[in-house]
């Protein structure tokens, strides 16, 4: 099963998520993406 199916999203939304020039991706979306590939999202400020 691919990431698109695991996230239950469209190919267009997945393309936007993976676009390094897209600065409008939310932390919630990144968390869902990480979960879809069996990972956790960790944000750290230094």
- 22 within domain boundaries: yes
Q: What local confidence, expressed as pLDDT, does residue 43 receive? A: 93
What is the Cα–Cα distance from 35 to 8, expressed in whole angstroms?
12
- 32 within domain boundaries: yes
Contact 35, 3 (CB under 8 A): no
Matching residue, tokens 């869902």? 32
Contact 46, 34 (CB under 8 A): no
State which residues form the domain around 14: 3-36
pTM, full prediction? 0.69
- 46 within domain boundaries: no
Does residue 2 surpass a pLDDT of 90? no
- 10 within domain boundaries: yes
- 9 within domain boundaries: yes
Q: Where are the alpha helices (DSSP H) in the chain?
A: 3-7, 11-18, 27-36
- 30 within domain boundaries: yes
- 31 within domain boundaries: yes
- 12 within domain boundaries: yes
- State the average pLDDT for the chain: 88
**How far is the CA of 45 from the CAs of 11, 42, in angstroms?**
31, 10
Number of domains in the chain: 1
């Amino acid at each position: 099963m691919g990431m698109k199916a695991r996230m239950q999203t469209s190919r267009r939304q997945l393309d936007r998520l993976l676009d390094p020039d897209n600065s409008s991706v939310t932390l919630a979306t990144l968390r869902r993406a990480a979960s879809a590939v069996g990972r956790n999202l960790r944000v750290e400020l230094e």
